[in-house]
Amino acid sequence: MNTKIIYKSWSVLDQYRTLLATLMLVMALQLSYGQGTRTVSGIVYDSDNQPLVGATIIQQGTTNGTTADFDGNFTLGIPETSVVLEISFIGFKTASVTVGENNSETIEVTLEPDMLSLEAVELVAVGYGTMRKSDLTGSISTVAAEDLAKGTLSSTEQVLQGKVAGLTVVQGTGDPSSGASLRLRGGTSLTASNNPLIVVDGIPGVDINQVQPGDIASVDILKDASATAIYGSRGANGVIIITTKSQSAGFSVSYSGLSGVSFASNHLDMLSANQWRRYVRDNGVQGAIDYGAFTDWQEELERLAFRKSHTISLSASGEQSGLRSSIHYMENEGLVKTTSLERLSANINVHQFALDKMLRFDIGLFATIDKWHPLDYRIFERAFNLNPTIPIYDQNGAFTEVAGTLYENPLEILAHRTTDDKRNRLLGYFKTEMDFTRDLKGVVNLSMENNQRTGNTYKPSTAVLEGRTEGGYGQKVYEEYTNLQIEAYLTYTKELGNHRMNLMGGYSFLENTYEGFGAQRSGFETDLFGYNNLGAGQDYRLGDVYSYKGKSNLVSFYARANYSYDNRYMVTATVREDGSSRFGEDNKWGFFPSASLAWNLSNENFMDGTKNWLNQLKLRVGYGVTGNQDGIGEYKSLSILGVGQDSYYDPATDSWKQAYAPTQNPNPDLKWESTEQLNVGIDFGLFSRISGSIEWYQKTTKDLLYTYQVPQPPYLVGTMLANVGELSNTGIELTLNANVLSTDRFSWDANLTLASNEQKIEKLSNQVYETDVIYSGSLHGLSGMSNQFSQIVKEGYPVGTFWGYESSGLDENGAFILSEEKTDIGNIQPDLTLGFGMNFTYDNFDFSFSTYGMFGQKVLNATNMMLYDPNRLPAYNVPDDFLSSGITSDPTFSSYWVEDASFLRLQNLSFGYTIPMDKVFSNFRVYLMGENLMTFTSYDGVDPEVDISGLANPGIDRFNNYPRPTTISFGLDITLKN
Amino acid sequence: MLFIELNSSKMKLKYLTILLSGIASICLVSSCTDLEEELYDKVKDDDFGTTPKEVEALVGGAYSSLRGFSDEISNSFPTAEYVFFLNEVASDEATIPTRGQDWYDGGRYQDTQRHQWDSENGMILSAWRYCYTGISKVNAIIYQIDQSGLEQADKDPIYAELRAIRAYYYYMLLDMFGNVPIVTDFEDQELPANSSRSEVFDFVESELLDVLPNLRSEIIYSKFTKNVAYTLLARLYLNAEVFVGTARWEDCLSMCQQVSGYSLNPDYFANFVTENQNSNEIIFAIPYDSDAGTLGNYLHSMTFHYLHNLTVSVTGNYPWCGNGICAQPGVYSKFLDTDKRKASMLEGEQINLATGSVIIMDSGEPLIYTEEIIDFTNAKQNEGVRLNKYEVKEGEKWERDHDLVVMRYAEILMMQAECHVRLGSAELARPFIDQITQRAGTETPQTIDLDYLSDELLREFIFEGRRRTDNIRFGTFFEPWWEKGVTPKTHGIFPIPKSELDKNKNLEQNPGYPQ
């Protein structure tokens, strides 16, 4: 629960007539006149006789009121006449006290807890403020810190894996330096980004890895358009609002440590050296060369990988100020030698009140340094290719080299190249909150995010790939981006009897600047410098040095009104107007409205009869329009000249000069992709033990941006970015939380998320651009498959539809039996995604597990497609199963290799014990945890969880077989409080 | 008194509010809604082309377009891959056999080999886009020059050069596709319709004749000069009978006679060495320089066996090779052993320089390039003799440095010889042929007839990407050879790519191809 208590005094308010020059005209402001001629004072307690800090005291029927101070005391100016005071506090039943005409005694009030409303006052971040959960009209899921995924996580996305219905988190590889991809309710775009907008502590558009999992207090996921429309052009893919931990009262310091070991959960079963020899002997294979060794190339690439992380956090808070700070160090070794991710991050946030707590300042800073060693992924294909009898080292101790295509020693590739990458992330903000009146608040948030990456590569002149032909090759690249943002908004909250109203309006400005440069050189006389002295390289080619820079602006105006009556009827409306520099002259501005309604049936009188089992029942319906402009790049509407590979020879000077040429078809009509979404939801609570929600949505993205092929002439180049198509997603989501059993010593909780989404391309053409089909899922680079595609983007099909021959197995000669025509042979979209977990506690013991799964999605097992090739033996290795497969045909793309990749993964299992040391530590818990312990799947490849993002090759398992780790770790959490 | 005593929180708040409102209103009326795009590493077209240097950089772009490009739609390089492959595989001198699974690539080479291409063949699209991307670019540059502040007198030679380059592209379209749309105005956004093949012919002819006076007369390597225009006109007239049904042999002869200042290089292969810009035989070439970042020039990596690098360098220091295009069976034996030009092909055992013994392929067999290709749909790795015309050097980069020879003086000699034979005076052809055969180390036969000329053209210009045009002119194109039967007359031009027809409803498919 996320209950916010605000300490402040309004007693001076009555003395002044407040004139407010408002930033926004959307808000009509009620002025408050003080008319007090006498003062009444009192004290508010809860049922435990503790002072109730922050309780609201209001003169009935007026706006005259105050709040209780730190000791529960209040004073209020009231008229001479007899008045009724209403004393209320979230989570308590409201009490009324009549103050007689001449009564001047100190009033003592005790508020009784209101169990029902205690649930209802959970606050949920909705973007530019919070809202009572009970007032919500849109589709928003909330995950509290304790429910986030745990473990030796390398990227923050992973905390949400399996936790939110409709949010797919795919970790495509076991490489610790690669992130996961996020998709909410299917993708909405072919060209622009499909990543949800990440908002960290109110700052939109932040890299999710700015925040470390340990610093997260809660995550709110805005799913439908009525919830995300307040982010307008940035909200089409959903919004993930991360609230970091704030200062807790008093002082505390805590430590969390985790240390573990990882090993590969699965391998591809290739022939061992002895199996290979037996095959050669038994079949009398000619020309087979036995090199005499026993090498398992896959295992040789790997190691037992150690992982560790330490986090120390400190929190201190007084009446006027507070501070929270944490420092985090992590080192995750990769299973493949040389790979790892090392992270050092620090976070500090401070707040300070001023002017009788009417002014609050917040300063926050997040800094992260990541270091890793990018891997040459070609090693996996080599590991499958190499004959298992080849020794790793030859007699001289050097790496064995056997000539052949794609036949380089993968251990040599690993050993003889240096790759050092580093990323620095910085996020800082300065936020001012000002309470103009009790109801009207202004917020100005200035923020800066800066993300820098440095990449260094050196391939010595001895390296088989590139190094030798280049005579040593060194490269340094640097890239960075900076987002500067101003967010300024006003909120106005009013509660009058049964009416509750919340208005918000604001302005934001975003400036994104990106720039970078790089240099590469080859022809080094010595390899001693590595990448540190590129000047020593003697070969210089045009294009070896480059730099770039670009900038874009986004300007927004937005407003939201939320009204609820008697906790029964709620309505929310939002508008946002966004202007983006990226679009054409006439289409720079986009308008994104939304409206939603909710009806809390359980608060209706006629539902009284079912209250004993149906604790909550709320119906919601919302509609809205959101946009997308991310990932399409700048300057696409302009006619521009660029330099590139456009050099020309000048015979007069016998030299090469740079040519300038038009580079693109400008599209001055370029505009926003807009996504319309209708959402219907039901929230329910049963038997005071089960709560959950069901959502149905339909969303349609119009003016889909895509780089269309255009006729040449009249167009300058063959492609042009244009708004043409239409894409729809329809789905159902179910979230269930259950408190199965709860006794003094034992508790048992369970949670389940289920989601199903159906995607369809509705349109790819309009009057100007006609596209029948776009080919995607490239197989280029696989032997014999140059410029071949495995997927289509076509009207009536989802993105990532495999299009090929239907195979009905093998004929008696071992040839594939294929259909005459190519057809739809499955798609990469899962029919169902699932997350399921349980938590148990028994006295000081705790036990929990969590699983996630995806069902119905197809994966092209291109690894097997190429390995089950009768031409491979004896020189190239094959999987064990190839020998019994009977396949005699050359590799052919067909449904034979398109597999059902449904899976269910036991991702986390932990067992903990809290050592009772209350005298010293408020918490002292030790635990054992296992990650990725079991995967249930019928998929034949190394791992069924294959990246499905992008258009290039989603859902294709193609020698990117970085093994997925299974990790066993030991952890310790200690908290010291005073 | 002006001094305001901020003695209460409320007062402070009030003034703070006013201050903030002021800042906010300044913000709202000024730059905070500015959505103009600021450019840093690029330049708007209106801002460029005002100085002579900038104009030079623009015109340079027209020349660089001749190297082709590779984008997400097609690989359109004239040096290797699909523009080159299309014309070579459709002719009787080259083939790209499927070896196991390798080089199957959807059957595009097999279909082309059999002359059974359809409008979805990716190589045909590559060739179309090579030409039209170049044309669009030249049109855009002409538009830029229009806008520049140059004097008309300064503009004229620039226009001449640009229009001549454009005519060269249209000549290729005329040869490959026949009935193609003619677009010359960059600002014209209408979807163009086909012109007939004879209209395209007339356009190429009139453009070249029109710009000739403004082209430069001197020999300037790699630039479109008068000599280049004469050569292109000669080519146009040589093939006029194919293009428009009317022979123009005399016109061809007269254009050849205008070409001056060139001579045969005594060393045939001097035209194909890395530093081939020094050969006085070359009339027009497209320059390449790996260090200058030029792309597409990797033909040798498309022909040699995967392990061929071991034959070039003791340490194997030669780029990766993909074991693709090779000579059709029967071509190698068309060369006498004394013919120096026979070295344009590589045949026989390939020696590993490190061990001194024959390279062993992963099948366990020795790597011996053979003329024979038993089954071109499932060829062995070593079958087919390899293209070996341009220089091969240890330590070369993937992008080779030699310039692509487009026109050389030998062609002027051969064209004249052919015209004389066609005009019935075979003996007038002999002095021209003699120059060619003498250099090659062969002899001119007693009878110079069309069959001989066809073979001699094969020998002289093998793997220079022009054999298909010669096959068509000599009619052999339509007769059965090796793996193909009779070719319908309509296949003398390629179909217009389906994707282009889909995008432009005003385009009509060439006759003989399904609409």
pLDDT of residue A339: 94
Q: How many CB pairs under 8 A join A and B?
A: 280
**Residues A524 and A61: beta-carbon distance below 8 Å:** no
Task: Give A59's pLDDT tier (boundaries 50, 70, 90).
Answer: confident
| Mean pLDDT of the A541-549 span | 88
Angle at A194 between CA A192 and CA A199, to 5 degrees: 110
Which chain A residues contact residue B36 at CB under 8 A?
581
Which chain B residues contact residue A407 at CB under 8 A?
362
Whether residue B48 and residue A651 make contact (CB cut-off 8 A), yes or no, is no
| Mean pLDDT of the A864-888 span | 92
Residues 6+ apart with CB under 8 A from B1: none
Whether residue A651 and residue B307 make contact (CB cut-off 8 A), yes or no, is no
Task: Please give the residue of chain B at the shortest CA–CA distance from A952.
Answer: B72
Whether residue A442 and residue B20 make contact (CB cut-off 8 A), yes or no, is yes
Average pLDDT of every residue of chain A: 88
Whether residue A22 and residue B21 make contact (CB cut-off 8 A), yes or no, is yes
Whether residue A660 and residue B293 make contact (CB cut-off 8 A), yes or no, is no
pLDDT of residue A796: 94
| Mean pLDDT of the B159-183 span | 97
B242, containing H or E segment: helix B240-244
Which chain A residues contact residue B400 at CB under 8 A?
none
Whether residue A541 and residue B292 make contact (CB cut-off 8 A), yes or no, is yes
Tell me the H-state helices in A811-926. 862-867, 880-885
Which chain B residues contact residue A356 at CB under 8 A?
9
Per DSSP, the three-state class of B108 is helix
Measured from the Cβ of residue A348, the count of other Cβ atoms closer than 10 Å reads 16
> In the structure encoding, which two tokens stand for residue B246, read together?
């009317």
A12, A436, A509 member nearest B32 (Cβ): A509
pLDDT of residue A22: 31
Task: Report the complex ipTM.
Answer: 0.90
Which chain B residues contact residue A788 at CB under 8 A?
105-106
DSSP assigned state of A573: E
Task: Please give the residue of chain A at the shortest CA–CA distance from B320.
Answer: A405
Task: Give A34's pLDDT tier (boundaries 50, 70, 90).
Answer: very low
Which chain A residues contact residue B17 at CB under 8 A?
20-21, 434, 436, 442
pLDDT of residue A628: 87
Per DSSP, the three-state class of A133 is helix
pLDDT of residue A7: 35
Residue A29 pLDDT exceeds 50: no
Task: Give dist(CA B486, CA B505) in Å, integer.
Answer: 32
Residue A48 pLDDT exceeds 80: no
Instruction: Check whether the bond before B431 is cis (ω within 30° of 0).
Output: no
A21, A660, A874 member nearest B57 (Cβ): A660
Which chain B residues contact residue A639 at CB under 8 A?
44-46
pLDDT of residue A612: 84
| Mean pLDDT of the A959-975 span | 92
| Mean pLDDT of the B311-322 span | 90
Residue B63 pLDDT exceeds 70: yes
Task: Please give the residue of chain A at the shortest CA–CA distance from B56.
Answer: A659
| Mean pLDDT of the B268-280 span | 94
- Residue A477's alpha-carbon distances to A465, A520, A531, B294, B400, in angstroms, are 20, 8, 11, 22, 26
Task: Give A495's pLDDT tier (boundaries 50, 70, 90).
Answer: confident
pLDDT of residue A50: 74
* Residue whose entry in the numeric block shows the structure tokens 């095959």: A279
pLDDT of residue B32: 65
pLDDT of residue A91: 66
DSSP structure string for B14-69: HHHHHHHHHHHHHHHHTGGG--PPPPSSSEEGGGS--SHHHHHHHHHHHHHGGG-E
Interface mutation vs chain B, best among A509, A538, A647, most B CBs within 10 Å: A647
Half-sphere exposure of B409 (CA within 13 A, CB side): 21
Instruction: Check whether the bond before A874 is cis (ω within 30° of 0).
Output: yes
| Mean pLDDT of the B404-429 span | 97
Whether residue B502 and residue A772 make contact (CB cut-off 8 A), yes or no, is yes
Which chain B residues contact residue A459 at CB under 8 A?
none
Residue A23 pLDDT exceeds 60: no
Whether residue B20 and residue A434 make contact (CB cut-off 8 A), yes or no, is yes
Shortest distance between the Cα of B366 and any Cα of chain A, in A, equals 10
| Mean pLDDT of the A524-538 span | 93
Task: Give A15's pLDDT tier (boundaries 50, 70, 90).
Answer: very low
**Residues A892 and A814: beta-carbon distance below 8 Å:** no
Per DSSP, the three-state class of A252 is strand
Percent of chain A with pLDDT over 70: 95
Q: Which of A186-195, A221-230, A894-903, B438-447 has the lowest mean pLDDT?
A: A186-195
Task: Give dist(CA A530, CA A474) in Å, integer.
Answer: 7
| Mean pLDDT of the B494-512 span | 93
Over residues A341-376, the pLDDT tens digits come to 999 999 999 999 988 888 999 999 999 999 999 999
Shortest distance between the Cα of B243 and any Cα of chain A, in A, equals 23
**Residues B361 and B379: beta-carbon distance below 8 Å:** no
User: Residue B419 class from Cβ within 10 Å (0-12 exposed, 13-18 middle, 19+ buried)?
Assistant: buried
Task: Give dist(CA B256, CA B234) in Å, integer.
Answer: 6
Whether residue A21 and residue B58 make contact (CB cut-off 8 A), yes or no, is no
Over residues A933-956, the pLDDT tens digits come to 999 999 999 999 998 887 777 899
| Mean pLDDT of the B493-513 span | 93
Per-residue HEC secondary structure of A52-81 comes to CCCCEEEECCCCCEEECCCCCEEEEEECCC
Which chain B residues contact residue A286 at CB under 8 A?
364
* A870 phi and psi angles, rounded to 5 deg: -65, -15
Which chain A residues contact residue B74 at CB under 8 A?
718
B58, B105, B181 member nearest A713 (Cβ): B181
Whether residue B60 and residue A646 make contact (CB cut-off 8 A), yes or no, is yes
Shortest distance between the Cα of B104 and any Cα of chain A, in A, equals 5
Shortest distance between the Cα of B110 and any Cα of chain A, in A, equals 13
Nearest to A644 by CA among A662, A617, A626, A628: A662
Task: Give B13's pLDDT tier (boundaries 50, 70, 90).
Answer: low
The pTM score is 0.85
Cα distance between the two ends of chain A: 23
Task: Give A105's pLDDT tier (boundaries 50, 70, 90).
Answer: confident
Shortest distance between the Cα of A831 and any Cα of chain B, in A, equals 31
Task: Please give the residue of chain B at the shortest CA–CA distance from A13.
Answer: B10
Task: Give B2's pLDDT tier (boundaries 50, 70, 90).
Answer: very low
Percent of chain B with pLDDT over 90: 77
A579, A582, A637 member nearest B33 (Cβ): A579
B312, containing H or E segment: helix B309-312
Half-sphere exposure of A26 (CA within 13 A, CB side): 19
Q: Which of A666-675, A826-835, B192-201, B484-493 has the lowest mean pLDDT?
A: A666-675
**Residues A508 and A455: beta-carbon distance below 8 Å:** no
Which chain B residues contact residue A805 at CB under 8 A?
none
Work out the angle between the directed axes of helices B426-440 and B409-422 (0-180°, nearest 10): 150
| Mean pLDDT of the B90-104 span | 92
A12, A550, A718 member nearest B129 (Cβ): A718
B35, B43, B132 member nearest A581 (Cβ): B35
Percent of chain A with pLDDT over 90: 57
Shortest distance between the Cα of A574 and any Cα of chain B, in A, equals 21
**Residues A632 and A233: beta-carbon distance below 8 Å:** no
> In the structure encoding, which two tokens stand for residue B374, read together?
């038993």
Nearest to A310 by CA among A258, A387, A266: A258
**Residues A403 and B316: beta-carbon distance below 8 Å:** yes
- Residue length of chain B: 515
Shortest distance between the Cα of A801 and any Cα of chain B, in A, equals 19
Whether residue A659 and residue B61 make contact (CB cut-off 8 A), yes or no, is yes
Residue B3 pLDDT exceeds 50: no
| Mean pLDDT of the A131-146 span | 88
Whether residue A713 and residue B136 make contact (CB cut-off 8 A), yes or no, is yes
Task: Give dist(CA B125, CA B83) in Å, integer.
Answer: 9
pLDDT higher for A761 or A82? A761
Residue A103 pLDDT exceeds 90: no
Q: Which of A449-453, A676-680, A863-867, B46-50 has the lowest mean pLDDT?
A: B46-50
Task: Give dist(CA A341, CA A183) in Å, integer.
Answer: 24
pLDDT of residue A117: 47
Over residues B329-387, the pLDDT tens digits come to 999 999 999 999 999 999 999 999 999 999 988 888 899 999 999 999 999 999 999 99
Nearest to B201 by CA among B248, B160, B162, B159: B248
Task: Please give the residue of chain A at the shortest CA–CA distance from B126.
Answer: A718
Residue A104 pLDDT exceeds 80: no
Interface mutation vs chain B, best among A542, A660, A889, most B CBs within 10 Å: A660
B9, B75, B102 member nearest A783 (Cβ): B102
Whether residue A21 and residue B290 make contact (CB cut-off 8 A), yes or no, is no
pLDDT of residue B25: 64
Task: Please give the residue of chain B at the shortest CA–CA distance from A359.
Answer: B13
Residue A225 pLDDT exceeds 70: yes
A286, A405, A711 member nearest B191 (Cβ): A711
pLDDT of residue B183: 95
Interface mutation vs chain B, best among A649, A782, A876, most B CBs within 10 Å: A649
pLDDT of residue B23: 67
B13, B41, B64 member nearest A659 (Cβ): B64
